[in-house]
Amino acid sequence: MGAVVAESWRFELSIDELRAVCELVPELVLPSGYTASDLSPLPDDANEDTAIAAGHASLKERGLVGPQADGDPEGVAPALLFALSLHAVAERALRIFAWSPAEESRELISVNRGACAGLRRVQRRGALDPTARIVVTFMYLGELTKHLLELVADNSPGTNSPLTSTTIGLVDSRAVVEAVRAGNQEFLASLTSRSGDDQDVELMSGLTRQMDAGFHLELLDREARCLYMGDWFRGDDGWISMTVIPGQFPVSGESLAESGRMRLAKVSRSLIRADLLEMVAGLRRTRDVA
């Protein structure tokens, strides 16, 4: 089926097609939480062999699996297999959760020496979706910012008021994230009322409005230590970002809990792009992924 070419590529698979790939290549090890069973467990009344057979037939029809030859296992398209295999040798990883009015997704992007492989599950928002799909991507670091900006729609509303920022405690900040996702307006209003600064009140009151889209991003090292974390929420007045500010170094869970702060800021799409570019530039400077 040809050699793997040094370029970016993207595949969309059904859950059953991913199951079939893993059956055809038993030595393929996908990250915990991102196996086919993790991403979409089979219903109790479903038969796994039937699901795998259906996925296998679909892969054949799409040309992602080649014909059987000399009794050897059928070959999976090299580009697809390469993108899935890269997760086993990740030096850094990005974990992303995103939602829009219609869809929600979670994605793992593994990085190794400038190569990036993504594994994303996309489904309709708010319910288990039998039509959920898997998006498998491969790119180089130079394309990573563009890939992440897919989460920030070009038609996002502009910021109608001056860009402002404030900081809140880390414990409060995580509660804010959960409250925004859950639409807990009572908690957000309570937090806003505790601030005496007019600018802070104006900024945090933006969180009490309807947030129709957002994404959470974490950058982890090979020991799963968090190197960067950010949240972005989109409302009718544009985007609001939340980023962690360590209170002391070296950074640990205890030090973050004691003195960590969260910067809350009203941002434009170009500022989100700048934040993502800075994060990707840090990956470029990291010796073991350069």
Lowest mean per-residue pLDDT among 9-18, 253-262, 276-285? 253-262
179 neighbors 192 (Cβ within 8 angstroms): no
Cis peptide bond N-terminal to 41, omega within 30 = no
Eight-state DSSP code of residue 65: B
Q: Please state at what angle helix 141-148 crosses helix 269-285, rounded to 10 degrees.
A: 150
Q: How far is CA 47 from CA 21, 24, 53, 114, 133, in A?
A: 17, 17, 10, 40, 19
Is residue 151 within 8 A of residue 125, CB to CB? The reply is no
Provide the phi-psi class of 101: left if phi over 0, else alpha when psi is between -120 and 50, else beta.
alpha
Closest Cα to residue 263, out of 204, 185, 181? 204
Tokens for 34? Answer: 């991102």
Give the tens place of pLDDT for each residue, 82-141.
999 999 999 999 999 998 888 889 999 999 988 999 999 998 887 666 678 899 999 999
- Average pLDDT over every residue of 227-244: 84
Q: At residue 166, does pLDDT exceed 80?
A: no
**Cα gap 243→283, rounded to integer Å:** 18
Q: Is the pLDDT of residue 178 over 80?
A: no
Inter-CA distances, 247 with 143, 159, 192, 251, Å: 32, 29, 23, 8
**Gap between the Cα atoms of 102 and 176, Å rounded:** 22
Query: What pLDDT digit, counting tens, does each position of 19-75 carry?
Result: 999 989 988 989 888 887 777 777 666 788 898 999 999 999 999 987 653 334 568
Instruction: Provide the pLDDT for residue 135.
Output: 95
Question: Maximum distance among all alpha carbons in the chain?
Answer: 76
Q: What pLDDT is recorded for position 1? A: 46
Q: Which range is most confident: 105-109, 207-211, 219-223?
A: 105-109
Average confidence (pLDDT) over 10-18: 93
Q: Which of 285, 12, 7, 276 is nearest to 147 (CA)?
A: 276
At residue 268, does pLDDT exceed 70?
yes
pLDDT of residue 21: 92
